[in-house]
Structures are given as C-alpha cells and as structure tokens.
C-alpha cells in the first residue's frame, strides 16, 4: 500500500463500473482513493455479457417504453422517480463512454448495433460482442489511471469503516498490514452478494462487504431478500462460480428445452423465452417438478456457426472448454443466484441514510429495479447513479469545509484462527431457504442457525484476515435476508 496517503477527499470502496465511473467524475483538485479488493478486472462488472440498455434510437424507441418495460419486469414495485432518472439520463451516460474509447458493436452502416433481451419491447441493448462489461471496465481503468488525482490500490480490503465528524475513518487491510485512512466522503461500490449462495454467476469478491459495513454503521438496508436468480447459468458439475449464458442468446432466438428435448415455456408464459428472468426461472422450477428432472438446455445451434462464433465468442469459448459446442450442441443450463435488487437504501443522489456516505451499483438500493431487474439495466444504473453521487459530493464540497480528520485506535489483527466450514454452512442454508421458490420452513430454521454463527464471530476474538472479514460479511448479509423473509 505504498501509494495510500493518510487523507483523501473521497474514498471509493469498489472498482467495478460504479466505482471507476464515479472516480472519473472528480476534477484534479479532488483527491480520490479507489480500493480494489483483488485485481482490477475481477468484478461482477467485468463478467457482464449482454450489454447496457439505453434509449439511443429515438426513431424506434422512447424513454416511456423503457420505463414501462422496467416496471413490468419489476412487478410495478419500482421507485418511479429513480426510474425516471435512470432512463432519462441513461443515453447521455452510455454515449459518454464513446469518448473514453468503449467499442460498442456497429451495424453495416456504422451505427450502433442494438440487440434484444428478455422483457424489452425494443432493441435497445448496446453491446461489445458478449463481453460488454469487460470492454467497459478496460476502458474505464485506462481513463481513471490517467488521472493524477486518483490513487488506485489493488489487493486492499476495507476492513472497517467508522463515522467521525466531517467524514470517515477507514481501516484498509492489505499485505498483512492495516492502514488508517481518513476521508470526508465515502462511496460504497462493493458489488453484490453472490458468494452468500452455493452457486452464483458472481465473481469471487461478491461477499456483500459494503452492505455489511453499512449495516454495522446503522445505515438503512432495504429489500435485501429481493435476489434475482438467472434462469440460464451453465449447469457445470463442479464449479461454485457458474458462467452465464447471456440473456442476449435468447434475444437472438435461442429456445429452452426440458430433459426430453421439448420446448415448454408456452405452458407458463405467452412471452416464451423472452419473459423476464424471474418468470423464466420459476417456469424452469415448475417444469422440473412436472417432468421430475433438473436437466434443462438452451439451443441456438440452428444459427450459423460463423455468426455464433462472432456474436458470442466468450460463451462459445467457455462452453467449448466444458465440452459443449454451441454451434452443434444443446447448452446445459439451470437457474442460479445472479443479482441483488435490494441493498443500501439511497436517494436520487446516491446518498445513504448516513451523512456523507454514498452507495452506487449493485450494493445500493435505488428502487429502479422493483422486485426483479430487467436485463441490462444494471450497468446503466451503475453509470447513472455513480455520476450523480460524484456530482452531489462536488456540490457539497463547494459549500462545506472538508478538513483533514484525526485518526483513531489501531485495529487489532491478532487472534484465534477462524474455524473452517462456516461459509459452507451459510451457503447451504441460503441455497435451501431462499432459492428461486423460497422455503418458509427452511428460512425459519436457517435464520436461527445464521444468527448463532454471527454471534460466535462477533463474540470471539478471531484474527482479522480477509477470510474472517468476508465470512462475517457473508453471515451478516444472510441474516438480514432471512430476517426480511421471516417478517410476519
């Protein structure tokens, strides 16, 4: 942590699209620290395949249609004010990425190529083949690294965060050492909670860190039980992390098949394979009970081999590594944890209930997604609300003092080794209690077990390591989810 200074104007925890896009907004006189838990390209943002939704084709699309589609997918439980902001500011934020070199696919005329995904009534998804998130991340990393006022520190974890007068005291863990950093403002952009589950499409860093930290600080956490399960994750036999078969594959015509090789979505929804994700996931679970099998497939082999290799090179390559050639074979799929609609409650400027603490991206709850996220709205939310957070901080800085803050006591790192198997216990509980169709009995029993594990973690003096911090965060997130599920 050679570059880390004692004090910054703004501390950003998280280095996905939300964190990097926020950092990009600050002018040279504002000193910013971006904490990256592992390496910069290890994030849920970098795994995003399908694309980013925005109304850029005003001839064939409207903001009102995008809002309507998002409301339908979200069960009309979306925050209408936040949704207006998301959609109306979306195109500007997305098109600004062209200025830093993001290479969205083009059609034969040179115009932006737009694709369709489940729940969308118009082609409005900008994409870079099937690795849109990685393309955005690579260009954002280059742009932020070029800013002399931003320090990016990899392999550093926010171990603890305490509110002090005029800002925050952060304990940053890296290289076996803990460094104290003060900041007048903090943006949490720590991503999702996928590692709370046994199987997830999320990266290894998705342990709910920002949400758990905010909860311990007393911030309002909203709707954490609203977990999205993607219907078409590759059904690998071993790996905990399941790679995604993007929604855009179905958008380009792929069909779902049961264990008998028959299409079945017509039994459950007139939109067939292009129904919203929660509908498709529940339909698969119903069909599994009907036919007595968990073997399901996605077939797009009827499209030309050259087209598939060019349009979906990442998916083609990953499936081939698993022995599946998507130009000839059916792709084995099954639902698994994918996204979180709930999180740290924020307003339209990404402010949490704690003064000077902001949250954006998947760890936040803006309310734009309602009960279920519409495909490709996640990168859009990260862009729009990270920019709003930065702008709100800049406006406050112009009118408020931001003095250098004093440090506190050191964080004791030594202690007992963490017992093995705690994460596995929590993941097993969540997989049985709150999967696609929640199990009320398992949820009640699971909440008791999770609370016991958390009480043990909090009452005993374990060595403060990344493993301990992540285990505590995972358990905290699981407890909040199960508490919400078990409310009368």
Please give the pLDDT value at position 175. Answer: 82
Q: For the whole model, what pTM was predicted?
A: 0.91
Please give the pLDDT value at position 42. Answer: 79
Please give the pLDDT value at position 276. Answer: 84
Please give the pLDDT value at position 44. Answer: 73
Please give the pLDDT value at position 431. Answer: 92
The answer to whether 250 is a known catalytic residue is no
Select which of 277, 373, 388, 423 is catalytic: 277
Please give the pLDDT value at position 337. Answer: 93
Each residue's pLDDT, cut to its tens digit, for the chain (488 residues) gives: 556 678 999 999 999 999 999 999 999 999 999 999 998 887 778 777 779 999 999 999 999 999 999 999 999 999 999 999 999 999 999 999 999 999 999 998 999 999 888 789 999 999 998 889 999 999 999 999 999 999 999 999 999 999 998 999 999 998 878 999 999 999 999 999 999 998 898 888 999 999 999 999 999 999 999 999 999 999 976 656 688 898 889 988 999 999 999 999 999 999 999 888 889 999 999 999 999 999 999 999 999 899 999 989 989 998 999 899 999 999 999 999 999 999 999 999 999 999 999 999 999 999 999 999 998 999 999 999 999 999 999 999 998 877 777 787 787 788 899 999 999 999 999 999 999 988 999 999 999 999 999 999 998 889 999 999 999 999 999 999 999 998 87
Please give the pLDDT value at position 218. Answer: 97
SS (H, E, C) the chain: CCCCCCEEEEEEECCCHHHHHHHHCCCCCCCEEEECCCCCCCCHHHHCCCCEECCCCCCCCCHHHHHHHHHHHCCCCCCHHHHHHHHHHHHHHHHHHHHHCCCCCECCCCCECEECCCCCCCCCEECCCCCHHHHHHHHHHHHHHCCCCEEEECCCEEEEEEEECCEEEEEEEECCEEEEEEEEEEEECCCCCHHHCCCECCCCCCCCHHHHHHHHHCCCEECCCCEEEEEEEECCCCCCECCECCHHHHHCCCEEECCCCCCCHHHCCCCHHHCCHHHHHHHHHHHHHHHCCCCEEEECCCCCHHHHHHHCHHHHHHHHHCCCCCCCCCEEEEEEEEEECCEEECCCCCECCCCCEEECHHHEECCCCCCCCCCCCHHHHHHHHHHHHHHHHHHHHHHCCCCCCCCCCCCCCCCECCCCCHHHHHHHHHHHHCCCCCCHHHHHHHHHHHHHHHHHHHHCCECCCHHHHHHHHHHHHHHHHHHHHCCC
């Amino acid at each position: 942590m050679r570059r880390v200074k004692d004090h910054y104007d703004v501390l950003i925890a998280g280095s996905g699209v939300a964190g990097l896009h926020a950092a990009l907004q600050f002018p040279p006189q504002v000193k910013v620290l971006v904490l990256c838990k592992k390496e910069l390209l290890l994030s849920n943002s970098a795994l995003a395949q399908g694309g980013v939704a925005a109304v850029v084709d005003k001839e064939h699309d409207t903001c009102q249609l995008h809002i309507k589609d998002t409301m339908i997918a979200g069960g009309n439980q979306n925050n209408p004010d936040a949704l207006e902001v998301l959609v109306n500011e979306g195109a500007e934020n997305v098109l600004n990425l062209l200025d830093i070199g993001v290479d969205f696919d083009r059609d034969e005329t040179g115009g932006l190529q737009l694709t369709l995904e489940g729940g969308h009534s118009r082609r409005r998804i900008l994409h870079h083949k099937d690795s849109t998130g990685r393309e955005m991340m690579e260009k954002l990393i280059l742009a932020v690294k070029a800013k002399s006022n931003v320090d990016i520190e990899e392999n550093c974890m926010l171990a603890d965060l305490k509110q002090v007068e005029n800002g925050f005291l952060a304990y940053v863990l890296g290289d076996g050492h803990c460094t104290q950093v003060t900041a007048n403002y903090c943006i949490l952009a720590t991503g999702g909670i996928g590692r709370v589950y046994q199987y997830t499409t999320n990266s290894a860093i998705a342990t709910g860190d920002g949400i758990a930290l905010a909860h311990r600080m007393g911030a309002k956490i909203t709707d954490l039980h609203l977990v999205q399960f993607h219907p078409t994750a590759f059904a690998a036999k071993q790996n905990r992390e399941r790679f995604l078969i993007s929604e855009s594959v179905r958008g380009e015509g792929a069909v779902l098949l049961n264990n008998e090789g028959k299409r079945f979505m017509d039994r459950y929804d007139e939109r067939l394979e292009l129904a919203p994700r929660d509908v498709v996931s529940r339909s698969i679970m119903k069909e599994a009970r009907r036919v007595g099998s968990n073997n399901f497939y996605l077939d797009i082999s009827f499209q030309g081999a050259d087209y598939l290799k060019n349009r979906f090179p990442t998916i083609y390559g990953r499936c081939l590594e698993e022995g599946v050639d998507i130009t000839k074979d059916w792709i084995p799929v099954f639902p698994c944890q994918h996204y979180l609609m709930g999180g740290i409650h924020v307003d339209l400027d990404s402010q949490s209930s704690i003064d000077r603490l902001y949250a954006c991206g998947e760890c936040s709850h803006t309310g734009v997604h309602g009960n279920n996220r519409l495909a490709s709205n996640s990168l859009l939310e990260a862009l729009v609300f990270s920019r709003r957070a930065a702008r709100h901080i800049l406006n406050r800085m112009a009118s408020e003092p931001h003095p250098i803050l004093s440090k506190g006591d050191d964080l004791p790192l030594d202690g007992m080794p963490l017992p093995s198997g705690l994460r596995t216990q929590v993941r097993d509980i969540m997989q049985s209690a709150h999967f696609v169709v929640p199990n009320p009995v398992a949820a009640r029993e699971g909440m008791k077990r999770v609370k016991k594990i958390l009480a043990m973690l909090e009452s005993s003096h374990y060595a403060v390591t990344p493993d301990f911090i992540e285990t505590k965060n995972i358990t905290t997130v699981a407890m909040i989810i199960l508490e919400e599920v078990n409310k009368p």
